[in-house]
Amino acid sequence: MNSVLETSRLLLREMNQADYPSIAAIVQEEKTMYAYEGPFSDAETQAWLEKNRVRYKMDGFGLWAVILRETGLMIGMAGLSWQSIDQTQVLEIGYLFNKHYWGMGFATEAAKACKEYAFTVLDAKEVYSIIRDTNIASMNVAIRSGMLVRSRFIKQYRGVLMPHLVFSAKRLNT
């Protein structure tokens, strides 16, 4: 399948059903999912895949598969989606990686590419990352991608109230 985005080490492309095992290796892993109140079930994993396939059709983007060019393996997910902060819809950069590929700069490389895509292809003026206040690794990706903290709010997810920080980067010369 054609890639949507390419970086020096990564390809980003739409996910499909054949990616289910690679997705499950990420979203069904305890440590990876601590900021999401625990691992997904099989049904939640399938729903996650389908939700992103609906996003590709409806919005033209979503969370994409991140493929390591060197091996062709899917090592994570990164991309863009509409999210709401209180009543406002914002374009968010999201990223989740297989824990065997943490600590190598892949998430930051993918997030920077998503930011450029949002600014140049989607003509966005600002992109956001909404991050649980306990998720230090994710905040560091946002900071390394050129984002700053703008505000905080409480998000309800899986029945739990979670304080979140709102990071964003603004396009220059807008």
Ligand X SMILES: CC(C)(COP(=O)(O)OP(=O)(O)OC[C@H]1O[C@@H](n2cnc3c(N)ncnc32)[C@H](O)[C@@H]1OP(=O)(O)O)[C@@H](O)C(=O)NCCC(=O)NCCS
Note the residues at the interface with ligand X (CB under 6 A): 32, 35, 95-97, 102-108, 131, 135, 137-138, 140-141
Please choose, from the candidates 3, 19, 14, the residue with its C-alpha nearest in 3D space to the C-alpha of residue 52. 14
Closer residue to ligand X, CB minimum distance, 40 or 119: 40
CB of 165 to ligand X, least distance (A): 10
CB of 84 to ligand X, least distance (A): 15
CB of 174 to ligand X, least distance (A): 25
Closer residue to ligand X, CB minimum distance, 70 or 123: 70
Closer residue to ligand X, CB minimum distance, 95 or 117: 95
Helices (H), 88-170: 106-120, 136-144
Residue in this structure with the two tokens 């700053």, named with its chain if needed: 148
Backbone φ and ψ of 6, nearest 5°: -135, 140
Closer residue to ligand X, CB minimum distance, 103 or 163: 103
Beta-carbon contacts of 78 under 8 Å, excluding residues fewer than 6 positions away, are 12, 63, 64, 66, 93, 94, 95, 96, 97, 107, 110, 111, 113, 114
CB of 137 to ligand X, least distance (A): 4
